[in-house]
Structure 1
Amino acid sequence: MFGYRVPQADQAMLISGGKSSGTSPFRVVTGHGAFIVPFFRKAQFLTLALYEAEVEEPCVTKQGIQLSVRAVIAAKVGNDSESIVNAGQRFLSDQGQMATLTGRIFAGHLRSIIGSMTVEEIITERQKLAGEVLDGSKGEMAKMGLIVDALQIQNIDDGGLGYIKAMAAPHNARIQQAAQIAQASANQAAAEAEQQSRRAQAQFERDTAVARAGYAAETQSAEAKAAQAGPLAEAQSQQEVINAQTDLAQRQAQLRQQQLVAEVVKPAEAEAERVRILARADAEKTQIQAAAAASSNRVALDQALIAQLPQIVEKAANGLAGANVTMLNGSDGLSEVVSGLASQGLAIFEALRGDVGSAKKTQDSTGETKAIETRDDHADHDDDGSSNTAWPKA
Structure 2
Amino acid sequence: MSTSVIVVVGLVILATLILFSSIGRLYRKAGPNEAIIVYGYRAARVITKGGAVIFPVVETYRALTLELMSFDVAPQQDLYTKQGVAVTVEAVAQIKVRSDHESILTAAEQFLSKTPDQKEALIRLVMEGHLRGIIGQLTVEQIVKEPEMVAERMRATCLDDLSKMGLEVVSFTIREVRDKNEYITNMGRPDVARIKRDAEIAAAEAERDTAIRRANALREAAIAKAASDQDRVIAETASLAKQAQAQRDLDIQKAQFTEQSRRQEAQADKAYELQTNVMQQQVVAEQQKILQVEKEAQIKVQEAEIARHENELISTVLKASEIEARRITNIATAEKSRATIQAEGLAAAARVQGEAQAAITRLQGQAEADVIFQKGEAEAKAMNVKAEAYQEWTQAAIVDKLITNMAEVVRAMAEPLSKVDKITIISTGEESGGGMGASRVTGEVTKIAAQVPALLESLTGMKMSDLMGQIKPMEPRSETSSEIKPN
TM-score by length of 2: 0.41
| Greater length-normalized contact order (CA 8 Å, ≥ 6 residues apart) | 1
Q: Which has the larger radius of gyration?
A: 1
TM-score by length of 1: 0.49
